[in-house]
Amino acid sequence: MARREITWVGIGWRFLAALVLVFCTYNPEGYSFVHWAADTAQGPLALKIFVGILLVIGWTIFIRATLGSLGGFGMLLVVALFAALLWLLREWGVIPRGSFDTVAYMVLFVISALLAVGMTWSHIRRRLSGQFDIDDVED
């Protein structure tokens, strides 16, 4: 059986892919699919639909993997962990009060982190516990 070990580089690539997906979909700077699709004067409709379908495919891959590895309760725990971290950073003054853009970036970062954790959790759980997922077992 071939072992597919996760490395820090692999985790980094998954996180980068999640960041690209999330920030291409929406970001507060106005350079995102949401802003582009809403502007009827910019770009052909067929291209917007094509890019929108590509983004939906990306989201589907990430969300299915995240739900499959973490489950609903696990996703809730990861979101709660990152929300508590954001709250702590705001209490310590790292995140300025009243800055919508900063909060929006932090939320987008948390969504990216959640998706990256979901994409890597099966590998991490296998390393910590020695338990394989059914997808990892070959005949």
pLDDT tens-digit series, residues 107-117: 899 899 999 98
Give the integer Cα–Cα distance in Å for 120 and 128. 13
**Tokens, residue 3:** 């072992």
18, 32, 63, 128 from 58: Cα distances, Å? 9, 15, 9, 28
Give the integer Cα–Cα distance in Å for 21 and 23. 6
Position 1 scores a pLDDT of 45
**Tokens, residue 124:** 């991490």
User: Do residues 96 and 89 touch, judged by C-beta distance below 8 A?
Assistant: no
pLDDT tens-digit series, residues 53-62: 999 999 999 9
Lowest average pLDDT, out of 75-79, 85-89, 97-101, goes to: 97-101
pLDDT tens-digit series, residues 12-52: 999 999 999 999 999 999 899 999 999 988 889 999 999 99
Position 132 confidence tier, pLDDT thresholds 50, 70, 90? low
**Helix or strand or coil: residue 51?**
helix
